[in-house]
């Protein structure tokens, strides 16, 4: 299979900060590849190098078979880019924005309409509205349409779901899923760990380094211990109590439960009694499969 992106030992430094440290990975054609990591992990910097907007200090990057440094002119014609903050013309209407990007890429809205029809249909009733007056979810859909309108071979989406409500986020990933049938390679960056499972492959990024690259399932399976979820009504007390327990290795709040691992990797039978003694009588403990975020936390701790 042809590689859509081949990155080798990419390093990028800004002043005293190493934004990217020896990043190597490859993306297959037609894959949906996610880069997961918090702010400052290096996602935007990496995407800017991929889209030829920045040059790496060291390393090589081949995108769609072209070198990101010397063949940038040709490469730019084949990429659909949606940067953070969506970058739409706030004082142009939905329609005008779309037409502009179509023209700039030497095509028309009609030519590739079937590619964006699912997405655009949500905002078409608002096509005369100024982009600045759209809600976050609608801006997102418009920006995606503009990035797709010229049928790029590679779609680069930098934090397309940040700051957008949960429902729109979910819908967005549904739309991305439908794009697979058009053989477009898609790379997405996001700080939301739960979005990782929507990708074919995922790279976990932290402080400019890749902690892990694999399919979401394999990353989860990489969790090295048994994981347990402990629930109680008194969440704060539960966390503090669990942390005091000498048998417990890690205890992290995860929504309505606390994910714990044990030093000797088995459920301590005395845990219930211990909790009851500390005043928590309603604890419920269950073993569960590790999620991406659990694995991320484990890897982060290893790095420290």
Partner 1 sequence: MKRFLGFVKKEFLHIFRDYRTLFILFGIPAAQILIFGYAVSTDIKNAGVAILDLSHDEVTQKLTDKIFSSGFFKKTETLLNYNNIDKVFKKGKTKAVIVFEDDFGKKLISEGKASLNIIADGSEPNTATLITNYTTAIMNDFTNEFAGSVLNNSIRISPELKMLYNPNLKSHFMFVPGVVTLILILICALMTSVTITREKEFGTMEVLLVSPLRPIQIILGKVTPYFILSFINVLLILGLSWLVFGLPVKGSITLLLAECMLYILMSLTLGILISTVSKNMQQAIFISLIGLMLPTILLSGFIFPIENMPKIYDYVSSIMPPRYFIVIIKNIMIKGTGLMYIWKETLILIIMTLVFIGLSVRKFKIRLE
Partner 2 sequence: MMGNKVITVRNLVKKFGSFVANDNLNFEVSAGEIFGFLGANGAGKTTTIRILSGLSKPTSGEVKVAGFDAYRQTENIKKNIGYMCQKFSLYEDLTVKENIVLFGGIYGMSKSLIRERLVELLANLRFQEYENRIISDLPLGLRQKLAFSVAVLHEPRIVFLDEPTGGVDPITRRQFWEMIYEKAASGITVFVTTHYMDEAEYCDRISIMSEGKIVALDSPEKLKKQYNAPTVEEVFIKIARP
- Contact call for residue 137 and partner 2 (CB under 8 A): yes
Q: What is the DSSP string of 186-254?
A: EEEEES-GGGGGGSSEEEEEETTEEEEEE-HHHHHHT--S-EEEEE-S-HHHHHHHHHH-TTEEEEEEE
- Region binding partner 1 by CB under 8 A among candidate stretches 47-55, 115-123, 219-227, 291-299: 47-55
Q: Which of 106, 125, 246, 255 binds partner 2 (CB under 8 A)?
A: 255
Q: Which of 24, 117, 121, 170 binds partner 2 (CB under 8 A)?
A: 170
Is residue 56 exposed (0-12), middle (13-18) or buried (19+ Cβ within 10 Å)?
buried
What tokens appear for 63 in the block?
């995108």
* 170, interface contact from partner 1, partner 2, none, CB < 5-8 Å by kind: partner 2
If one counts every other C-beta atom within 10 angstroms of the C-beta of residue 132, the result is 12
**If we measure between CA atoms, which residue out of 183, 184, 188 comes closest to residue 201?**
188
Q: Between 48 and 259, name the residue whose CB sits nearer to partner 1.
A: 48
SS3 7: strand
* 47, interface contact from partner 2, partner 1, none, CB < 5-8 Å by kind: none
- Contact call for residue 249 and partner 2 (CB under 8 A): no
* 164, interface contact from partner 1, partner 2, none, CB < 5-8 Å by kind: partner 2
* 293, interface contact from partner 2, partner 1, none, CB < 5-8 Å by kind: partner 2
* 1, interface contact from partner 2, partner 1, none, CB < 5-8 Å by kind: none
Measure the CA dihedral 291/295/300/304, to 10°.
Answer: 140
- Contact call for residue 54 and partner 1 (CB under 8 A): yes
Residues that bind partner 1 (CB under 8 A): 48, 51-55, 72, 76-77, 79, 81-90, 101, 104-106, 146-147
């Amino acid at each position: 299979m042809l590689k859509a992106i081949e990155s080798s030992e990419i390093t990028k430094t800004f002043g005293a900060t190493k934004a990217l440290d020896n990043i190597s990975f490859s993306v297959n054609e037609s894959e949906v590849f996610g880069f997961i990591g918090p702010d400052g992990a290096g996602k935007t910097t990496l995407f800017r190098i991929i889209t030829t907007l920045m040059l790496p200090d060291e390393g090589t990057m081949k995108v769609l078979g072209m070198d990101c440094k010397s063949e940038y002119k040709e490469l730019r014609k084949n990429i659909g880019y949606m940067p953070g903050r969506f970058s739409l013309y706030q004082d142009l209407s939905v329609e005008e924005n779309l037409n502009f990007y179509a023209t700039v890429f030497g095509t028309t809205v009609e030519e590739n309409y079937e590619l964006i029809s699912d997405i655009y249909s949500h905002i078409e009733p608002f096509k005369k509205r100024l982009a600045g007056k759209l809600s976050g979810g609608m801006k997102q859909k418009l920006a995606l349409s503009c990035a797709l309108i010229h049928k790029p071979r590679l779609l680069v989406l930098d934090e397309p779901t940040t700051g957008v409500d949960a429902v729109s986020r979910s819908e967005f990933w549904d739309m991305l899923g439908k794009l697979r049938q058009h053989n477009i390679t898609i790379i997405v960056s996001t700080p939301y760990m739960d979005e990782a499972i929507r990708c074919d492959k995922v790279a976990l990024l932290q402080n400019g380094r890749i902690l892990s690259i694999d399919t979401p399932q394999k990353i989860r399976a990489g969790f090295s211990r048994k994981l347990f979820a402990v629930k109680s009504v008194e969440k704060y007390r539960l966390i503090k109590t669990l942390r005091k327990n000498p048998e417990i290795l890690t205890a992290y709040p995860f929504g309505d439960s606390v994910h714990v691992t044990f030093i000797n990797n088995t459920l301590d039978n005395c845990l219930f009694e211990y909790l009851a003694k500390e005043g928590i009588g309603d604890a419920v403990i269950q073993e569960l499969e590790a999620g991406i975020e659990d694995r991320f936390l484990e890897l982060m701790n290893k790095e420290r």
